[in-house]
Structure 1
Amino acid sequence: MSSLPTSTPAAQGVDAAGVQAFLDALESDPGIEPHSLMLLRHGQVVASGWWAPYAVERPQLLYSLSKSFTATAAGFAVAEGLIRLDDPVISYFPEFDADVTDPRSRAMLVRHVASMASGHLEETLDRARAQDPGELVRGFLLVPPERDPGTVFAYNQPATYTLGAIVQRVTGRKLTEYLRPRLFDPLGIGQVGWIHDRRGRELGFSGLHATTDAIARLGLLYLRGGMWEGERLLPESWVAEATRVQISPGAPAEGGWTDWQQGYGFQFWMSRHGYRGDGAYGQFCVVLPEQDAVLAITSETVDMQRVLELAWVHLLPAFAAGPLPGHEAADAALADRLTHLALPPADGKADPAGRAEEGETCFAPHGGSCTDQPTLTAVEVGPGGRVTLVDDGDRLELGLGAGEAGWTVVDEPVPVAVSGGWTDEETLAVDVAFLETPHHLLVTCSLADRTFTARWRTQPLHAGPLRRMRAPRSA
């Protein structure tokens, strides 16, 4: 994989002080845990950093930012004549023709599912699964839209799933397989993985794992109108249609127009500045055509609007019309900071006095079951900071206090970073960061009753045993 070209911020007309202020704001906000950041201007990387224990080479779960990659696959299929936006969705699934009788469902076009304009008034995922647990497309089409397709917006996972299913059907390939020679290889994107369902279909609406670098490259492709290194990959017409308002979300929320109410394209959100793909808990690909810039971010937060607000406040004023001479010291200070980014570890001792010689202690779930992670059945603690999570029959062995900056990284069977330890002689508190996702599992063991509690700091949207908290190794 070739590296993207790099430059100093000042050479590309970016004031390093604005980037520093953005970093300050991210790090000081208690509701945001930044994991990575890449800022590109005029096609050059002017700032990039990963907060240890997160690292440049690790893929991240992108959640709904996956949708923008699904749209890109659809764009290729349209360009190749495999899909037509004005075809009825049902025409791609003739086996459901007799079952789908609602006239609005039958009138739903490919462009409607691409733009979240299926005619439904709200999310249909649970209802579609109830209609057909084994075939989400059929279940979706059996949920009658309340309005005519194309007239209302509703953020709707089965709409994107259906778009991805159409691409996979007409190409005979999984999304990752279809995108590999058309997108991933030309852009220099390395290994990716996409969660699939029981039918073997990649989800489309979520589940893609890719690096921050891959996010930045996708944004740069769209910023350039579908061109990459002098070669046209995506039709300019597709990029233009995907990144303009196809449907309006409706009336603004109380307090004004947020970045989720500016309009929706083909699996891209319009923003108050530019447009973006985004995913739950703070995964962003922000494209700023007026500034000729791309911002890629991975993080853990429930306040995604706040991240965008900070970018508008601190980064937008940092863009100048031309180079900024005399900013060498500021550029050097930013570069140094970006190489030393790190998250603070949880407090605790690996082996407090009086416990080093004790044998292994097994802790059972407090109250008889772990409600946040039902498959977690036991925590075993031994001398030397050894902690083992027993989850769905798997044993995830962790260590404490041996790693750089207070984090211990374990790559198998699941990539995690661990911090924390004994906060007193009776209490062990461990922070387990699942490094290929945004999520942390906080485990607390009590010697008094030999029980543990475990809670997710942010709840994973793809439930299952802990062994699934990693990128699929598929493409």
Structure 2
Amino acid sequence: MQNTHVPLPRKNPKELGISASSVIGFLESLKARQIETHSFMLLRNGQVAAEGWWNPYAPELPHMLFSLSKSFTSTAIGMAVHEGILTLDDPVISFFPEELPEEISDHLAAMQIRHLLMMGTGHDQDTMDALHSAEDGNWVKAFLNEPVVHEPGTHFLYNTGATYMLSAILQKATGQNLLEFLGPRLFEPLGTQHPTWETCPRGIHTGGFGLNVTTEDIAKFGQLYLQKGMWQDKRLIEESWIIEATSKQISNGDGGDSDWAQGYGYQFWQCRHHAYRGDGAFGQFCIVLPEQDAVIAMTSGTNDLQGVLNCVWDHLLDAFLPDSLAGEEEIEQEKRLSDYLKSLRLDPPHHNGESVREDEISGVTYMLDTNEFGIESLRLDFQADEALLTIRNSKKEEKLRLGRQRWLPGQSDAFNREDGRAASSFTWISADEVLITIQGIETPFRLNEHIVLKDGAIELKQNINVSFGPTESEPIVGKAL
């Protein structure tokens, strides 16, 4: 099947019975909560009612999904089950006889594919640290050697290593990795072009993270689930699987106001208001609202994931009306929404356009003290309306153009993505401090580099907007060469 991108159909919000003022209220509430949003698509009845990208993010760019990848891995397992390749009752250990520990505990022996899917493996901590620490790069063996404390199926623990094992099982059973397996079955029918997926050291897709697709691809995926597996009059996923995967399979809390305590399906979270979702770190969302016949796809750079969902429930639930809307007021609000969406942007930092010390450091190479990032030297060359940043480490030299208080497009390895797309700028916070900002526009990440001028030296301080670890680094001293 030829993979041709066919965009989702578009309609005005009022034609789909969506209140434009409620959508504006939703976007304003995200802004008020200081939730940094990068893209947003709202679908109803299978058609796009509203969409926006915060420049320099753009519709054609893929985005890191993080744990939203898990829902795609679950889909692959569902397809394999209905093709008779796997069953949910298959023991995990049956696929890897050569990787088993010397002693197989009763709990490990009882672990089935369904337990991996529902995050009920019986572990008492996420296994990913053990997988990453495996010196031989054998993540399967590392997983199977972790103690299984609880009886599988009785204890929920969010366990990204479990999703990796789903990927490894699929590859062992089919001889195909996730991308190869899902290509003709999911990605090509949906028109998803050039999806990529990270791999473990042994070439197995990571499963629980690492998929990169566009926001519209996320929206299509959600719409496919909303349509119970049908796409353009063809069945891609069995309806029975959709129902099972998106229903509560295990308890993960006592409900309440938390959307992380409503129950868990097969790599899908249960939500309040009878919705369900796939989600990923820092605000990557695919939210399906069956009662409203709606899908919300979002990418973000925030740690306030519950805040995003609260904004959805507070503003968008009331936006869906049973019939199309009419009247002068609604036409005016729709025009306002259209203008609002066109104006979305992330502004680079603005302080001072220049410094009296700019000529003093322009073209000077600074050798840096040994540091955790492996940066050996840096240099800034200033021009009229931009600067060139040159960074050297032990492996390569990277050059990055910086706009003077404006974004310039480029490519950077700053976010562990070789030649990843970025937008970069600089501004002077004071005469002695320049701020360099690098926005990874395929990622949620924004790196700020503060360079403070000393006598014949510099001090480099870095911070990042969101991270799994510390967001600020220790200062690094550099001396003029």
TM-score normalized by the length of structure 2: 0.90
Count the aligned residue pairs.
Answer: 452
Equivalence for 1:377: 376
Match of residue 155 from structure 1: 158
Which shows bigger deviation, 300-309 or 317-326?
A: 317-326
Shift of 1:147: 1.1
Aligned runs of 1:301-340 on 2, under 5 Å?
301-326=302-327, 327-340=330-343
**Using the alignment, how far apart are the partners of 2:361 and 2:448 within structure 1?**
24
Shift of 1:351: 4.4
| Letter of the structure 2 residue corresponding to residue 4 of structure 1 | L
Partner residue, 1:20: 24
Q: Does 1:177 align with 2:180?
A: yes
More moved, 218-227 vs 328-337: 328-337
Partner in structure 2 of residue 417 of structure 1: 423
Given the alignment of the two structures, is residue 459 of structure 1 paired with residue 459 of structure 2, yes or no? no
Partner of 2:322: helix, strand, or coil? Answer: coil
Q: Which residue of 2 aligns with 1:63?
A: 66
The 2-side partners of 1:73 and 1:377 are apart by 44
Q: Is contact 2:38-2:299 (8 Å) kept?
A: yes
Which letter maps to 1:6? R
AA paired with 2:222? G
Does 1:259 find its partner at 2:267? no
- Distance in 1 (CA, whole Å) between partners of 2:136 and 2:52 is 42
Distance 1:350 1:396, change over 3 A: farther
| Deviation of the 1:348 alpha carbon | 4.2
SS of the aligned residue for 2:74 comes to helix
Question: Which of the numbers 14, 17, 33 marks the counterpart of 1:10?
Answer: 14
| Cα deviation 1:225-256 (Å, max 9, x = unaligned) | 0000111100001101110001011345xxx4
The amino acid that maps onto 1:207 is G
What's 2:478 paired with? Answer: none
The percentage of aligned residue pairs carrying the same residue is: 42
**Is 1:396 aligned to residue 398 of structure 2?**
yes
Q: Aligned-pair distance for 1:334?
A: 1.0
Q: Which moved more, 1:332-341 or 1:72-81?
A: 332-341
For 1:205, the aligned partner's letter is G
Distance 1:445 1:362, change over 3 A: farther
Matched, 1:139 2:142: yes
Residue equivalent to 1:278: 279
State the Cα deviation string for residues 147-169 of structure 1 (Å, max 9, x = none).
Answer: 11011100001110001111111
**Aligned 8 A contact 1:400 1:421 in 2:** no
Which of 224, 231, 237 is equivalent to 1:228?
231
Aligned residues of 2:253 and 2:260 also touching (Cα < 8 A) = no
Query: CA 1:246–1:127 in 2, change beyond 3 Å: closer, same or farther?
Result: same
CA distance in 1 between partners of 2:136 and 2:103 (Å): 16
Which residue, 235, 240, 243 being the options, matches 2:243?
Answer: 240
Cα 1:26–1:181 shift into 2, 3 Å: same
Matched to 1:185, the amino acid is: E
Question: Shift in Å at residue 22 of structure 1?
Answer: 0.9
Corresponding position: 1:435 with 2:441: yes
Check whether the contact 2:258–2:306 (CA below 8 A) recurs between aligned residues: yes
Measure, in 1, the Cα distance between the counterparts of 2:199 and 2:187.
19
Matched, 1:447 2:442: no
Residues 1:339 and 1:101: Cα distance change in structure 2 (over 3 Å): same
- Measured in 2, the distance between the counterparts of 1:2 and 1:186 equals 9
Contact 1:13 1:322 in 2 (8 A): yes
Q: Partner amino acid for 1:258?
A: S
Change (3 A) 1:146 1:53: same
* 2:373 corresponds to 1:360: no
- Compute the RMSD of aligned alpha carbons: 2.0
* Cα offsets for 1:76-132 (capped at 9, x unmatched): 111111111011011111223463511100110000001100012331222455567
For 1:182, what is the secondary structure of its paired residue?
helix
- TM-score between both structures, scaled by the size of structure 1: 0.91
- Which residue is 2:294 aligned to? 293
Once residues 192 and 131 of structure 2 are traced to their aligned partners in structure 1, the CA distance between those partners, rounded to angstroms, is: 34
Partner of 2:415: none
Letter in 2 for 1:212: T
Unaligned runs of 5+ in 2: 413-418, 470-481
